[in-house]
Structure 1
Amino acid sequence: MLDYLFSPYTIRGKTIKNRCTVPPMVTDFCTADGKATERYIAYHEAKAKGGFGLIITEDYAIDPLGRGFRNVAGLWNDDQIESHSELPKRVHKYGATILAQIYHCGRQTNRGVINAVPFSSTAIACPFGTDIPQALTTEEVKQTVSKYGDTALRAKKCGFDGVEIHGAHGYLITQFLSPYSNKRVDEYGGSFFNRARFALEIIHDVRAKCGDDFIIDMRISADELVEGGITLEDTKALVPYLEEAGLDMIHISAGNYLSVDLNVPGCYVNHAWYVDMAKEVREICDIPVIAVSRINDPILANSILRSGKADFIAMGRASLADPEFPNKAKEGRFDEIRRCIACNEGCIGTLFGDNPIRCVLNPTLGNESHCAIEPAKVAKKVAVIGAGPAGLEAAMSAKKAGHNVTVYEKDSHAGGQFHLASIPPCKGEITDFIVWQTNQCAKLNIPIKYNTEATVALMQSEKPDAIILATGAAPVRPPIKGIENSNVVFANDILAGKVQPGANCVVIGGGQGGAETAHFLAQMLRNVVVLEMLDQIAADQAISPRWHLLKALENRKVQLHTNVKVTEITADSVKAEGKTNMEFPADTVVISTGSKSVNSLKDELANAGFDVKVIGDANKVGAVMDATSQGYEIGRFI
């Protein structure tokens, strides 16, 4: 069934063992001077060990002034070669092919990262930037071309099989290619050929310096998805010239920083939505094409190849969620694959705060070199109370360490509040992770006792040696006049299907939870108003899904009011103060003003003499990735 996905492909005498590809993703795992760390190497090694045939690293900056983040990889000088030479060796050990992506981010950086004014094709600021860049002189452009070739040669000396030239996502090459950003009037501006000159000269320079046995790939945005930017037809006109210049492979992406909601699409965007662009490019060239974007399932990946739309499938965030994705797929262990849910919280949300990436679902990401679960010296009987993400993660790691584990859950199913998070539109893939956790527990012979309220008496009868308390959180009821009225409900009750909402709904609280509940209500054709004390709606959500959520609320005609304070709830309305006094009709008032930890059982159990560890929201209300990480760690060290 997956013959296409697991067939080999030879480029420049190098045979790539399958079509499963890890695309470049910035990790922030390197040092401030661009050198590799063990953390960085082990992260890539895990993907090679997991069966990926082609691995393309994160952006290797060709110049320290071309970095977009403080701790990205770099090969801008010879001193960096030694630290990065270990990476290809470790990856080749598992039969994988590895390319170093090389880039200069141009205007898409800032003084805080490079301690200087950025450079670009033209003195036009990035929409997200704080600085107007300096336009490179004609001579500086030629010098920059040479820096790409020099960086590629260093990559070859490190042992990389080739490079991917980053010509996508609004970085420096795109800043020359695109009339959206290139307003030059020298030999690198104006006409199609002039705007393409920079990219073509880079390919020639890399080939001249690295020889014929070196793979040259280029990533491009087939459509920038912004007004005045590159379109698919522009790209189709360009690609034959890139191929003629010596390109061996082309990686079809889309977007730039202004269209980041589509460039790194979240759960609101369809699976594999760039793929038809890849197909059109493939039809006009003779080099292999890599397709990318929201491809998180091996059957989907194989179908794209089988339909002739691409030659390789890049599954970046899928590889973060499960670096063993290819091996599991090849062995038919589909139910063991931990599929990405496109939440963008750990990979993009964390990175944009200039912090090392994480994954909501995979607590071992970035910890590959020191996260192995070792056999416990003494096997214990462990009780886990709560079958949410934290509790089940703890149960699995404790079981792998050799303990005898039982999970107790008061509800009829697993997932806790994470299951409620799957109810709003476009969030259904969350259930895939919950099912994955319960399947893993079944394979590990971990019983989950549903509809079982954990009490001190129950624990005294079960006699566990240790208890992991993962009882989650409960909604906060704010001190608003009329909060006890019969028309007031919690968002959790709406999402759990316990309440049938009326025609006019007012949601108090416009964080991510309140905004997604409003979307759910609006899709049920209710009239919805959201009231938020702060100045933004869903400010706690990652940028890409947030933009789509706000657009969905706009399309569903949800009224959004910020900087307002609710003063009273009546039997049929909600009163609020903002710039003016307001009153909204309300058959149903939905409270979404945060949560508080549920952990009263902790003291009762401790007083009864039990060893109790509290994790997840029961310890401190926070993100799901904190809960899964805590669960994994407490389980392996219990």
Structure 2
Amino acid sequence: MAHPRYPHVFSPLDLGFTRLKNRILMGSMHTGLEDIEGGFERMAEYFAARARGGVGMIITGGIGPNHEGTGGGKLSTDEEAAQHRIVTEAVHAADPDVKIVLQILHAGPLAATPACVAPSAIRSRIGRYVPNELDEDGIEKQLADFANCTAKARDAGYDGVEIIGSAGYLLSTFLVEKTNARTDQWGDSFENRMRFPVEVIRRCRAAVGPDFIIVFRIPAMDMLEGGMSGEEVIQLAQAVEAAGATIISTHFTWHEAQVPTIATMVPRAAFAEVTGRIRKHVNVPMITSNRINMPDVAEAVLAAGHADLVSMARPMLADADLVVKAWEGREDEINTCIACNQACLDHTFSGRLTSCLVNPKACNETLLVARPAERVRDLAVVGAGPAGLAFAVEAAQRGHRLTIYEAGPEIGGQFNLAKRVPGKEEFHETLRYFSRMIEKLQITLKLNTRADAAMLAAAGHDEVVVATGIRPRTPDMPGIDHPKAVPYIDAILGRRPVGRRVAIMGAGGIGFDVATLITHAGPSAAVDIPTFCREWGVDFANHPRGGVTGVPIRIEKADREVVILQRRDGAPGKTLGRTTGWTHRLSLVRRGVKMIGGVTYLKIDDEGLHTLVNDQPTLFAVDTVIICAGQEPERSLYDALVAAGVKARLIGGANEAAELDAKRAIAEATELALAS
């Protein structure tokens, strides 16, 4: 019997020799657990939790087939296979119907080792080393190592492998002329350039026989000028199918491409139609991915015929139980991925363990364990920002009685500012989740209630958790009270007018958010695919080489002249997230926003903002100066509680406010709640 709301999502998929129980899979995410002591045990519980949560198939983070392909974790020996069996046995014990697939990732020129290899000795713009050009013996070794890794994966208990042929990793560098300058049988014509990935599939299939899943991750749109054409992508898909691929998974972008594909500014399911176009030309099931973060989005993609399977990677970090919640009609309880990348991809690309901003328990399942409270306590939380909400929900789930006091009319704290910024619409989802959990867990919520020490002492709570957040820092400079000076909160909330000529004091995340908001016009690209395509020069309809035109087609912007200023020398924006910061900088540059470092602020008066820029007197003749000069902890209540002898704890911005950091605030709150 079909599921009443998600008939396509919960339809099984017959692969001939095996069956997937539904159409949602957990896509590959490198966690870093593969490379630490005890990491396989932690990884086993991480994946087992998602198996219990209802996914049909899990694809692991990328594992190299040899040393030169990774510089880190690999699978090429029996000893390594034994470690991986810890993971596969845990998943199959959690749910025998869930398939787990090892992603074989040969990083090619992006590998973290001087032994890295590629078809040609061409260094990637983001690579650490010039790769070693493969000769014939080297190519044969790589092919043999792929086949060996596939066989070891089967020995380790995996149900299949995914071979990644995209993103600027080894296989994709054979496919495009930019990185393949060879003139032999492995280069020149496209038939020759695709020979290596096709041969990889053929060798891997020969190594394991017909009853083993082999997924090929195809570069459906590499987002590179001079990349693969739509016709070449289809030709490659047909060739890897003929070589033995069970499933083809579409991937979008190279890591060095200048188009965002997974950030929160990207519309949901923006790339699904590209998968659907390829799907018409092959006979094997196809997976689509990128910014599909809720079950209704997955159902719509499948119902439209764009794919046979939907990959959700980061959404499974945010909520391990996403699929079972959809099955049970509890979609409003899903802790939705907001595509911020702050604790996942930013960590991955800076060598830190992966987790999730909205779910710090991700990849920490064996460390952050929610056990029933040994003694139920009456706890108060003051402040309904991200930290206060996270603490309240986690503590209530353990059985404690919770009361939240919030001075404002709604929950959310700083998220209520973020959600107003074009490109951050997903923040509404986190607030929806917390609202529902407050209701479900019967947490007492007192809005428009400014709690003081006397009130809290009289209430008799066992402990008060102070999550009162921050207050914007007001610089000590002449003219800071001038009508031209506008605090960033007033600018974001529209409580003060913002003129046509604007200087923004401060180039942190808030400064960039303010610049985005005041220069925006027209629909948000995050919720409108045509606008996204125009702003980033993506052409889905014609699929030029790489899928991109090379320049934005049109950018709608407000009629404002804006400059972002920072005290420190150098280009503003370097403190932004590693995987998303460049998108914010580039987007604002395309809107004509100027960015200047090395600024000393002198005064604000009728003329504008007086400064020194590199020690030279400079007047910014602006109508408005928006103050984004940092923030300070708001902990006066905490001090009063301590003085009154009331047991209290500080979390979030009230504890540390050097830079607004929801990731740290939620993680800190979660850890405290699980220990309370």
Match of 1:230? Answer: 228
How much has 1:164 moved relative to structure 2?
0.7
How much has 1:530 moved relative to structure 2?
1.4
Match of 1:9? Answer: 13
Match of 2:540? Answer: none
- Identity value in percent: 31
The superposition leaves residues 458-497 of structure 1 with CA deviations (integer Å, 9 ceiling, x where unpaired) of: 1122111101011111111123332222221211121123
Match of 2:611? Answer: 576
Query: In structure 2, how many angstroms separate the alpha carbons of the residues matched to 1:232 and 1:406?
Result: 56
Mapping of 1:230-629 within 5 angstroms?
A: 230-259=228-257, 261-263=259-261, 265-523=262-520, 525-534=559-568, 535-579=570-614, 580-621=616-657, 622=659, 623-629=661-667
Give the conservation status (yes or no) of the 8 Å contact 2:66–2:145: yes
How much has 1:175 moved relative to structure 2?
1.0
How much has 1:568 moved relative to structure 2?
2.1
Match of 2:533? Answer: none
Give the conservation status (yes or no) of the 8 Å contact 1:379–1:404: yes
Q: 1:106 aligns with which of 93, 105, 108?
A: 108
Query: In structure 1, how many angstroms separate the alpha carbons of the residues matched to 2:266 and 2:507?
Result: 22
Match of 2:52? Answer: 49
Give the conservation status (yes or no) of the 8 Å contact 1:348–1:542: no
SS in 1 for 2:130: coil
Query: In structure 1, how many angstroms separate the alpha carbons of the residues matched to 2:589 and 2:208?
Result: 52
Query: In structure 1, how many angstroms separate the alpha carbons of the residues matched to 2:291 and 2:627?
Result: 33
Give the conservation status (yes or no) of the 8 Å contact 1:268–1:545: no
SS in 2 for 1:222: strand
How much has 1:24 moved relative to structure 2?
0.9
Counterpart of 2:132 in structure 1: which amino acid?
Answer: Q
Query: In structure 1, how many angstroms separate the alpha carbons of the residues matched to 2:629 and 2:650?
Result: 24
The superposition leaves residues 344-397 of structure 1 with CA deviations (integer Å, 9 ceiling, x where unpaired) of: 111111111100112110021111123232222222111111101110111112
The superposition leaves residues 390-422 of structure 1 with CA deviations (integer Å, 9 ceiling, x where unpaired) of: 101111122122221100011111111122122
Query: In structure 2, how many angstroms separate the alpha carbons of the residues matched to 1:378 and 1:2?
Result: 41
Query: In structure 2, how many angstroms separate the alpha carbons of the residues matched to 1:461 and 1:596?
Result: 28
Greater mean alpha carbon deviation, residues 269-278 or residues 1-10: 269-278
Query: In structure 2, how many angstroms separate the alpha carbons of the residues matched to 1:142 and 1:51?
Result: 40
Match of 1:92? Answer: 92
Tell me how large the CA RMSD over aligned residues is: 1.6
What's the TM-score once normalised by structure 1's chain length? 0.96
Give the conservation status (yes or no) of the 8 Å contact 1:179–1:230: no
SS in 1 for 2:178: coil
How much has 1:36 moved relative to structure 2?
5.2
Could you say if the C-alpha distance between residues 260 and 554 of structure 1 is closer, same or farther in structure 2, counting changes exceeding 3 Å?
A: closer
Matched, 1:66 2:69: yes
What's the TM-score once normalised by structure 2's chain length? 0.90
Could you say if the C-alpha distance between residues 200 and 135 of structure 1 is closer, same or farther in structure 2, counting changes exceeding 3 Å?
A: same
The superposition leaves residues 141-176 of structure 1 with CA deviations (integer Å, 9 ceiling, x where unpaired) of: 011100000000000011111111111111001111
Query: In structure 2, how many angstroms separate the alpha carbons of the residues matched to 1:36 and 1:159?
Result: 18
Query: In structure 2, how many angstroms separate the alpha carbons of the residues matched to 1:39 and 1:508?
Result: 44
Give the conservation status (yes or no) of the 8 Å contact 2:502–2:622: yes
Give the conservation status (yes or no) of the 8 Å contact 1:408–1:454: yes
Matched, 1:632 2:636: no
Query: In structure 1, how many angstroms separate the alpha carbons of the residues matched to 2:416 and 2:168?
Result: 37
SS in 2 for 1:146: helix
Greater mean alpha carbon deviation, residues 387-396 or residues 581-590: 581-590
Query: In structure 2, how many angstroms separate the alpha carbons of the residues matched to 1:312 and 1:5?
Result: 8
SS in 2 for 1:346: coil
Counterpart of 2:178 in structure 1: which amino acid?
Answer: Y
Aligned length: 629
Query: In structure 2, how many angstroms separate the alpha carbons of the residues matched to 1:589 and 1:24?
Result: 44
Greater mean alpha carbon deviation, residues 22-31 or residues 534-543: 534-543
How much has 1:261 moved relative to structure 2?
4.7
How much has 1:536 moved relative to structure 2?
2.5
Counterpart of 1:8 in structure 2: which amino acid?
Answer: P
Counterpart of 1:80 in structure 2: which amino acid?
Answer: E
Could you say if the C-alpha distance between residues 539 and 261 of structure 1 is closer, same or farther in structure 2, counting changes exceeding 3 Å?
A: farther
The superposition leaves residues 1-56 of structure 1 with CA deviations (integer Å, 9 ceiling, x where unpaired) of: 200011001214111000001111110012359x8521111111111111010111
SS in 2 for 1:131: coil
How much has 1:262 moved relative to structure 2?
2.8
Query: In structure 1, how many angstroms separate the alpha carbons of the residues matched to 2:640 and 2:397?
Result: 29
Q: 2:28 aligns with which of 24, 27, 37?
A: 24
How much has 1:596 moved relative to structure 2?
1.2
Query: In structure 2, how many angstroms separate the alpha carbons of the residues matched to 1:275 and 1:83?
Result: 36
Give the conservation status (yes or no) of the 8 Å contact 1:279–1:310: yes
Give the conservation status (yes or no) of the 8 Å contact 2:43–2:363: yes
How much has 1:258 moved relative to structure 2?
1.1
Counterpart of 1:636 in structure 2: which amino acid?
Answer: L
Could you say if the C-alpha distance between residues 260 and 99 of structure 1 is closer, same or farther in structure 2, counting changes exceeding 3 Å?
A: farther
Give the conservation status (yes or no) of the 8 Å contact 1:167–1:174: yes
Give the conservation status (yes or no) of the 8 Å contact 1:345–1:541: no
Greater mean alpha carbon deviation, residues 158-167 or residues 563-572: 563-572
Q: 2:165 aligns with which of 150, 156, 167?
A: 167
Counterpart of 1:584 in structure 2: which amino acid?
Answer: F
Give the conservation status (yes or no) of the 8 Å contact 1:254–1:262: no
Counterpart of 2:70 in structure 1: which amino acid?
Answer: R
Give the conservation status (yes or no) of the 8 Å contact 1:12–1:214: no
Counterpart of 1:456 in structure 2: which amino acid?
Answer: A
Query: In structure 2, how many angstroms separate the alpha carbons of the residues matched to 1:624 and 1:38?
Result: 28
Gap runs ≥5 in structure 2: 521-557
Q: 1:123 aligns with which of 105, 121, 124?
A: 121
